Structure formats: C-alpha cells, structure tokens
Amino acid sequence: MIDVEKLKSGDRRSLAKAITLVESSKEEDQVLSQELLKKILNCGKNSFRLGVTGSPGVGKSTLIESFGQYLISKNHKVAVLAIDPSSPTSGGSILGDKTRMEKLANEPNAFIRPTPTSGALGGVAQKTREAILLCEAAGFDFIIVETVGVGQSEYEVANMVDFFMLMILPSGGDELQGIKKGILELADSIIINKADGDNLNLAKQTQAQYQSALQITAHSNFWKTEVLTNSSLSHETLDELYTMLFHYKSLSLQNLQWESERQKQNINWFNSLIKEIIIQKIHSDHKTNQRFNELKELITSQKITPIEAAREIALSIIKIKIN
C-alpha cells in the first residue's frame, strides 16, 4: 500500500513505489492505483509541465540536466520523466540518460525516472500522465517529460504538457527537413541546439529560416512559436529559456487559456484511457484474444473486411464486464 501522506510530504521512496504501482498492468494493482490517483488528482494546479522532444543525440538530456539545476537554484522542485520507445526497458540508452543527468539526479530537489514503454497498450506514453500527477502530489512543481521523436510518443506527450519544445540541429538547406508533419505546429518553441563552434553561423541561419517559415502560421491567439538557439557548452541561454516559459505561463493565465488547456489534457487522457481499457480487455479475455488473432488472419487472407472484424470485436467486448 502507498502511504498518501508520506507521498505528499515529498518522500521519494513512496513516489517511486507509487509510480511502479501505476505502471503495473496487474488488475489488482490497477484498482489500487485508481484509488490512489483519485486522492491526488488536483495536487498539480500550480505546476509547470514541459515536454521536450527531438531526435536522439540532439542534446535533450544535456539541456535538461543543466536547466534542471538552474530551476532548482530558483527554488523549484524538478521531476524528469524520460520516455524512450526505441530502447527496451533494460536497454542502454535509458541508462545513458541517467548517467548524463548525474548531477541533477544527486540534487535532493530532483527526481529522475525513465518510463518503461513496453506493456503500455494504449500508447507508449500512457503511464507518463499518471507519473506526472504523482510527481506533482509529491511536491514537484516543475515536470519535464523527455521523449525522442520516434513513433507516436511526441504527439502523445504534446497532449499532456503545458509547453512543448522541439529541439533540432543546425541544418544547411533551406528546406525544413526531417521533421514530422504536425510536430512543428505543436511546438510552442523550437530550439536550434549545438549552436557553438563551427555550427554557430549555421545555427543562426537555421533560426532565421524557421522564424520566417513560422510567421505564416499563428500558433495561438496569444503566442507565437519562439525560435531560440542554444549551446549547452555554456549556460547562457538558461535565463532566456526560463523567462520564455514563465512569460508563456503568465500570458496563458491572462488569456484564461491555462486552465482550459489543462482541461483539454484531461479530455485527451480520457480518450486514450478508453482505448487502453478496450485493448487491454481484448487481450486479457482468452476467447476474445483468440478471436482477435483469428480475425487478423482472416483480414490478411481477405476473407473479412477490417470494418466487419473491428465491429465484431468491439461488440463482443461490450458484453465483457469492465471493472
């Protein structure tokens, strides 16, 4: 059992245990974790949820490590949740992240946790929402979610944070290369990273290109996507980053958007939970699971249409009791 009072007092062991509980896919743990989440749901009203995405190697963990320490010097309590769908839970790159954030990990006011992605049927980042809430309940008021630009994880993360930051490298051509459709529109800020050494000029050019490309699209009625350059070799940009984030927050509050964006995050959560519960039910009920696999084969051999198959499974699921 998780001691809620201990968790709320900021006890990291209780927090780690609570996250393990919500990550568990066992039915009995799910029941306990729902009870727990109900008790702490509104603890995070004053927190800041920042999402950071970008290709592997762009410099996310390095920036988070130094920005995290900067935040702590400003009296924030910082939690970092790292999602990496490209590596298995025991894999190297998550361990790499941990070592890279060594200084931050040693701060008493920091909490770093890699999120396992295997087993999260409703999406790779499904358990991250619950982990965010638990960190907030434990008094962490600045939550950073790091995710690589692979698969759906960045779209999922964009839907669960207050501010979404895309990191890219300085690039030569004048085309906006390699960035998935939609991600640019989701970004509240774009950071051109490794703006140092021989790359400095190129970074400035890239910044100008993105600035002019983004002028065409208004991001929201009160915010224009900010394009910054950064080099983690120096700590010069940290002030600028901090000012930008809290400027966004104050504008968002003034425009009465902060609260409604949080409500949108909850609606998104609701939608993805429905998917997760249904998919879980298909796989946990033996007969349904068997039929699911049969239907896949029938679709492959073109004996049934995907529409018919989906309807059959959906209708049979509705008859199964959902706790």
Candidate ranges 93-101, 125-133, 153-161, 297-305; the one touching Mg ion (CB under 5 A)? 93-101
Based on the shown chain and the rule CB under 6 A, indicate whether residue 60 belongs to the binding site for ligand GDP. yes
- Spatial neighbors of 142 by CB under 8 A, at least 6 apart, are 47, 48, 50, 71, 76, 77, 78, 79
* Out of 51, 54, 68, 114, the residue judged to bind ligand GDP by CB under 6 A: 54
75: number of CA atoms within 13 Å, CB side? 0
In the shown chain, the binding pattern of residues 200 to 219 toward ligand GDP, with x for contact by CB under 6 A and - for none, equals: --------------------
* Out of 56, 211, 280, 316, the residue judged to bind ligand GDP by CB under 6 A: 56
Q: Which does 76 bind (CB under 5 to 8 A by kind): ligand GDP, Mg ion, none?
A: none
Based on the shown chain and the rule CB under 6 A, indicate whether residue 62 belongs to the binding site for ligand GDP. yes
Based on the shown chain and the rule CB under 6 A, indicate whether residue 261 belongs to the binding site for ligand GDP. no
* Out of 8, 17, 100, 249, the residue judged to bind ligand GDP by CB under 6 A: 100
Give the position of tokens 């104050």: 250
Q: How far is the CB of 60 from Mg ion (least distance, A)?
A: 5
Q: How far is the CB of 195 from ligand GDP (least distance, A)?
A: 7
Q: How far is the CB of 262 from Mg ion (least distance, A)?
A: 27
Based on the shown chain and the rule CB under 6 A, indicate whether residue 59 belongs to the binding site for ligand GDP. yes
Work out the number of other CB atoms within 10 angstroms of the CB of residue 141. 18
Exposure string over 282-304, b if 16+ CB within 10 A, otherwise e: beebeebeebbeebeebeeeeeb
Q: Which does 123 bind (CB under 5 to 8 A by kind): Mg ion, ligand GDP, none?
A: none
Long-range contacts of 213-217 (CB under 8 A, 24+ apart): 213/176, 214/184, 214/190, 217/185
* Out of 61, 153, 159, 252, the residue judged to bind Mg ion by CB under 5 A: 61
Q: Which does 159 bind (CB under 5 to 8 A by kind): Mg ion, ligand GDP, none?
A: none
Based on the shown chain and the rule CB under 6 A, indicate whether residue 233 belongs to the binding site for ligand GDP. yes
Looking at the Cβ atoms of 233 and 314, the one nearer to ligand GDP is: 233
Based on the shown chain and the rule CB under 6 A, indicate whether residue 58 belongs to the binding site for ligand GDP. yes
Looking at the Cβ atoms of 28 and 198, the one nearer to ligand GDP is: 198
* Out of 97, 156, 162, 226, the residue judged to bind Mg ion by CB under 5 A: 97
Residue ranges in contact with ligand GDP by CB under 6 A: 54, 56-62, 100, 193-194, 196, 231-233
